[in-house]
Amino acid sequence: IITDKDENVYVLGKTDIIDYPVTANAIDEVHNGGRDIFMTKLDPNLTSLHYSTFIGGSGTDIQSAIWIDQKNRIYISGFTNSDDFLPMSNNNESGKVKGTYDMFICRLDPVSEKIAKDPFRMAKLNRLDALKTVIKATPGLLKKTDRYGRSLLHWAVRYGNREICRYLLKSRDLIDRADNQGLTALHLAVMFKENEIASDLIDAGATVLIKDKAGNLPIHTASFHGNAAILGRLDKELNQIELKNR
């Protein structure tokens, strides 16, 4: 816990509670899985929530220290084993954790326009209207990928945002695009048991024959992650392909 020059109170901690209170201008409004860090700003009387956000990825994230500079920019350090840890600068040396845990340091600006206009966060936070606006202004965003090679569709699938997925499925070249691990949107959908989205993907033409870099088809990924509910649909698609090829 620290205070700034105006005596506002900043609390840094970690939580596995998915409904921990966050504010609308948070850099990350959604719990990422595992244990996330939180940073919360309160007024001097501890009666008003000025700002609150999650920080982290799908693994375990551990806070270490927080400090504030003269411009009230917030610096946080800690440790993470999340390969998808956010926030992360684009010039990060590697998108992968190199040890059991890696150290991180990040600077937060709660009113950052760059963060607010990040299309990947829009896909994650289900901000369809905002995403439509930035894509209309910059159509090339549909070809953009993050440091893991994941497209906007990958992000929307990962966080179960079906409405955004349906919008992005109009861009045919996104449907079977694979990330750096060879995972398509369909792989992610069955991995995270987003079976309605998986069915939408198949209906839109997603192939069930693409293997990831470990050699797994979507049906193998579904089986490995215990997603029995989608196995019948995937098996049906594979059988239909086999019949056509006879």
Q: Residue 202 is encoded by which pair of tokens?
A: 């198949």
What pLDDT, on the 0 to 100 scale, is given for residue 95? Answer: 52
Of 194, 204, 244, 212, which is closest to residue 148 (Cα–Cα)?
212
Q: What is the mean pLDDT of each run of 10 residues along the chain (246 residues)?
A: 92 90 79 87 93 87 91 89 68 58 82 63 87 90 87 94 96 94 96 96 97 96 96 95 85
What pLDDT, on the 0 to 100 scale, is given for residue 91? Answer: 45
Total residue length of the chain: 246
Residue 87, preceding bond cis, omega within 30 degrees? yes
Instruction: With beta carbons less than 8 A apart as the criterion, state whether 162 and 185 touch.
Output: no
Instruction: With beta carbons less than 8 A apart as the criterion, state whether 227 and 199 touch.
Output: no
Bridge partners of 80?
61, 102
**Model confidence, pTM:** 0.64
